[in-house]
Amino acid sequence: MKIDVLKKMAQDHNVEFLDLKFCDLPGMWHHLTLPISALNQSLFSNGVGIDGSSLPGFSSIEKGDMILLPDPETAFLDPFYERPTLSVLGNIMEVGDKISAYSRNPRRVAADAEKYLGKTIKGASAIFGPEFEFYVFDRVDYRQDSDAAYYFLESSEAEWDSSDEDDDNLGYRIKHKKGYHVLPPFDRGYNLRSQICTMLKEAGMEIKYHHHEVGGAGQHEIETKFAPLLKMADLSMLVKYVVKNQCFRMFKSATFMPKPLFNEPGSGLHVHQYLSDGKTSLFYDKNMPAHLSQTGLHYIGGLLKHADSLLAFTNPSTNSFKRLIPGFEAPVFGTYSVGNRTACIRIPGYQRDPKTMRFEFRPPDGTMNFYLAYAAMLMAGIDGIKNKIDPGKPLDKNLDSLPAKELDKIHKLPTSLTAALDALQKDNDYLLAGGVFTEDLLENWITLKRDDVKQIDKRPTPYEFELYYET
């Protein structure tokens, strides 16, 4: 988008401010607001100075000066500011004799992964389509101190949140794990989801559909249409931004936390993906079983071979592994199948369009850094194609009900963040290919995440009091 187009966009909507948004290493947006008079060519050539040492995972204090360089292709009208505001996403750059790419800038990683694909498979592009699952609560309290630790959640939809004191206690509570596609009045969030989807469409995100999810305590899903890797990573950040802010505006609280509730369905972020030559999916072959091409099988082989280390990016929280347990449609084994929702990789049995022949990688969740996770999945797939990695035969069985003897023969995914990080330290050459990821980035990522584990490990939990207080 040229500067003249942006200026006309600002003029047509009486824009007063320019909001520059950028992503840190863990995957959170930050922002800096300028008057609209700053919208000129110099801004997109020279950027704005920021302190990288104040951002998690970025530079040290003695090398804190960095540049935020906005990308004019990412502009959208922000729906949440009182004064008309144009938002633009930016890249974090290093300062030197000239502005240069920063190795730990998440958008750089995603962009370089796309370039590496283009060099490896001429004319190919990586297309992604995530499913966003999240909970919406009516009240959220949590505290962690020396003398107290607790969380307390309320959901007007949940059967366990009914009481005689509720002003709106009119029945129609959703029973345990019975929320999938429920109608109003059980589904109290349908208008809110529609508001969110309208805002997303106005900001440039095409929506496939939205609905209530399995979790009766206010679990929802928005599924988007497909887009190229970097664009989809940008749009994924936008989805979280709009969902959280519109819920907050309506006096509710949204979370993409994988497992906020014990014994309730967790929230995943299944990622549909395929490679395209611009006309059709490279994963389609009408003469192959399930119409999945040899290229698609090898891509799957790469994902399964590197699944353990991939989880360090696709499931990068200690809470992630509270979701990846049997009995909740969450994958725990490294398998693939057609239409099997207990498999790690599911080839949708209902797909019919050769242009979008795809599969979904089911472990990921919303705590990921989208840029890094999408790039890591693509790099694993490319490695599978380059090395013709055979994923073996699909496993078309319900893994939740298989006997232990059969399960022992199947590769089990990591059951903790520590195990995933250990795998990443041992298995990362496929990520370093083409300079897409760097050793510097991997080292800092692992350090950040191991610190999360340390902080969790040294704090007592309420359930530990139940187990051990009276011993």
Catalytic residue among 78, 285, 360, 365: 360
CA distance 311 to 324: 11
CA 282 – CA 381 distance, rounded (Å): 12
Catalytic residue, chosen from 107, 188, 270, 358, is 270
The helix (H) or strand (E) run that includes residue 203 is: none
157 flagged as catalytic: no
Active site residue 94: no
Instruction: Pick the catalytic residue from 221, 234, 285, 308.
Output: 221
- Is residue 16 flagged as an active site residue? no
Is 360 annotated as catalytic? yes
Q: Which of 213, 234, 264, 285 is catalytic?
A: 213
Alpha helices, H only, 180-306: 190-202, 229-249, 294-305
Residue 156 · residue 186 · CB < 8 Å: no
* Residue 14 backbone zone (phi > 0: left; psi -120 to 50: alpha; other: beta): left
- The question of whether 138 is a catalytic residue gets the answer no
Question: Distance (Å, rounded) from C-alpha 281 to C-alpha 347?
Answer: 14
Q: How far is CA 20 from CA 89, 220, 274, in A?
A: 6, 29, 31
- Residue in 341, 390, 422, 427 annotated catalytic: 341
Which of 94, 112, 131, 161 is catalytic? The answer is: 131
Q: Which of 133, 234, 264, 383 is catalytic?
A: 133
Catalytic residue among 13, 51, 396, 411: 51
250 CB burial (10 A radius; 0-12, 13-18, 19+): middle
Q: Strand locations in 24-159, DSSP E?
A: 29-35, 48-51, 65-70, 76-77, 85-94, 100-101, 125-137, 139-144, 149-154
Active-site residue 62, yes or no?
no
219-224 and 76-77 as β-strands: parallel, antiparallel, unpaired?
unpaired
Respond yes or no: is residue 193 known to be catalytic: no
**What are the backbone angles phi and psi of residue 33, rounded to the nearest 5°?**
-110, 130
Provide the token pair at 141.
């309290």
Considering the candidates 24, 323, 362, 365, report the single residue annotated as catalytic.
362
CA distances to 39, 123, 150, 268, 367 from 259, in Å: 42, 40, 15, 9, 11
Question: Catalytic residue numbers?
Answer: 51, 131, 133, 213, 221, 270, 341, 360, 362
